[in-house]
Amino acid sequence: MEQTTLCGLYVEQIRRCLEYVDLILTISHSTKQDIAHYLDISPDKIFVTPLASRYECAEANNNPISSEDPELSILKKISPKPYFLFTGTLEPRKNIPMLIRAFSALKSKYKVDHQLLLVGRKGWKYEPVFKAIEDSICADEIHYLNYLSNQALMHLYQQAEAFIYPSYFEGFGLPVLEAMSLGCPVITSNTSSLPEVAGNAAILTSPTEMDELIDAMHKIIDSQGKRQTLISLGYKQASKFSWQNTAYETLAAYRSIL
């Protein structure tokens, strides 16, 4: 059966289920709009309960782990150069091949000394990511680190030049919030829920415009003032989200139907 037919059946099953629900919980206003639009559901039935970072705000609790952590031993094989960081499942939606091409163009145009670290499990159709690395003129400066523990990933966020998340679509975009909570400047896409999560604390670029991403990366390298501004704004933005607030919003949603 073709994928489009399977998708159609899946959507139809969701529609049938929604006939019996009193409320829907979702994680962003962007997703709420999509649910209301594509499934023809009244917005009054949809409640937004945003997510929060797994990390405490580094401004209040700056406690980086030791680089001697065994899980970070791979970093000893990489020269101590500054790096850009991406974290997330390797799949088409994340737009990683474009990130690799933008990084390669940045290196070629500005002769910067940076590396690119890709952290995350391999998802469906991950192969183009490694093909893009193979085709890059600076393949030896691009490193895939697979999945890492919370502590090891925290270390990478805190040491990165910037976190880059050029995804085409996100229901929320939790890594953006995690990076901000740990004092890492963020460059992310101007689509779906990402502007909602990032607020004014990130550089937003089109996921289809590679030149915008190149300019954003160079701007952070070229201006420590810009970088520090993004860090400060990121702390403030991340502090707006907490699991306590998520619990309050969830409780309010339940009470609305009692």
pLDDT digits (tens, 9 = 90+) for 173-198: 999 999 999 999 999 999 999 999 99
* 169 domain residue, yes or no: yes
Burial class of 68 by CB neighbour count within 10 A (0 to 12, 13 to 18, 19+):
exposed
Q: Are residues 45 and 153 in the same domain?
A: no
* 166 domain residue, yes or no: yes
Q: Are residues 18 and 36 in the same domain?
A: yes
The mean pLDDT value for 194-219 works out to: 98
Q: Are residues 246 and 233 in the same domain?
A: no
Decide if 143 contacts 116 (C-beta within 8 A): yes
Q: Are residues 121 and 186 in the same domain?
A: yes
Q: Are residues 227 and 251 in the same domain?
A: no
Q: Single out the residue of 196, 201, 159, 243 nearest to residue 33, CA to CA.
A: 196
Q: Are residues 251 and 214 in the same domain?
A: no
Distance CA 254, CA 143 (A): 45
Q: Are residues 223 and 247 in the same domain?
A: no
Q: Averaging pLDDT over each range in 35-39, 67-71, 83-87, which range is the top one? A: 83-87
**Angle, in degrees to the nearest 10, between helices 96-110 and 210-222:** 50
Task: Compute, in degrees rounded to 10, the torsion defined by CA atoms 216, 220, 225, 227.
Answer: 100
List, for residues 8-49, the tens digit of each pLDDT value.
787 888 888 888 899 999 999 999 999 999 898 999 999 999
Q: Are residues 226 and 250 in the same domain?
A: no
pTM of the model: 0.92
* 120 domain residue, yes or no: yes
Q: Are residues 82 and 161 in the same domain?
A: yes
Instruction: Provide φ and ψ at 144, rounded to 5°.
Output: -100, 125
**The amino acid at 27:** I
Q: Are residues 82 and 129 in the same domain?
A: yes
Instruction: Provide φ and ψ at 232, rounded to 5°.
Output: -65, -45
CATH code of the domain covering residue 79: 3.40.50.2000
Distance CA 13, CA 15 (A): 5
* 227 domain residue, yes or no: yes
* 64 domain residue, yes or no: no
Domain extent for 38: 3-52+242-255
**Angle, in degrees to the nearest 10, between helices 96-110 and 127-135:** 10
